[in-house]
C-alpha cells in the first residue's frame, strides 16, 4: 500500500489484483475482495504507459453497481501521490476480512 501511495510503477497494479482476487499480501495477511478499491488501483495503474489492464478491469466492472463505479471514479479523482516523509507519519487502515477486527499499519518510527 505504501509503495502504491508513493506511485511506484508496479505497485498500483499489484494492489489492484490483490483487491480483485482477495489475495494475501507479502506478509501473509488476507486481503478481502473489494471491487471498488480494485477498480481505483486499476485506473491509477492505467495512467502508467507500462500497464494496459483494460481487459482485467472489464472483467470486474460488470460485478459493480453504478454507485460502486461512481465511488471508484471519485476516489481516483481525489487521489494524489504521497511523499515518503508523509507516509512515514501516516497510519494506513488495512482491509479487514468480514467479521474480523479492523487493522492498521502503524506510522513508521
Question: Domain map of the chain by residue range?
Answer: 2-105
- Return the bridge partners of 94, or none: 103
Q: Provide the residue count of the chain.
A: 109
8 Å CB contact between 18 and 1: no
Is pLDDT above 90 for 69? yes
CA 93 to chain centre: 12
Lowest mean pLDDT among 16-20, 63-67, 70-74: 16-20
Residue 79 pLDDT grade (very low, low, confident, very high; cuts 50, 70, 90): very high
CA distance 87 to 94: 14
Nine-digit cell at 27? 506478509
CA distance 96 to 31: 7
Amino acid at each position: 500500500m505504501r509503495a502504491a501511495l508513493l506511485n511506484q510503477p508496479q505497485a498500483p497494479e499489484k494492489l489492484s489484483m490483490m483487491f480483485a482476487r482477495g489475495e494475501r499480501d507479502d506478509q501473509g495477511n488476507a486481503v478481502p475482495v473489494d471491487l471498488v478499491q480494485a477498480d481505483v488501483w486499476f485506473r491509477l495503474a492505467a495512467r502508467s504507459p507500462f500497464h494496459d489492464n483494460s481487459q482485467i478491469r472489464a472483467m470486474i466492472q460488470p460485478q459493480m453497481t453504478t454507485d460502486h463505479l461512481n465511488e471508484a471514479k471519485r476516489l481516483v479523482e481525489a487521489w494524489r501521490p504521497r511523499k515518503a516523509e508523509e507516509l512515514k507519519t501516516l497510519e494506513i487502515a488495512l482491509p479487514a476480512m468480514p467479521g474480523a477486527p479492523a487493522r492498521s499499519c502503524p506510522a513508521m518510527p
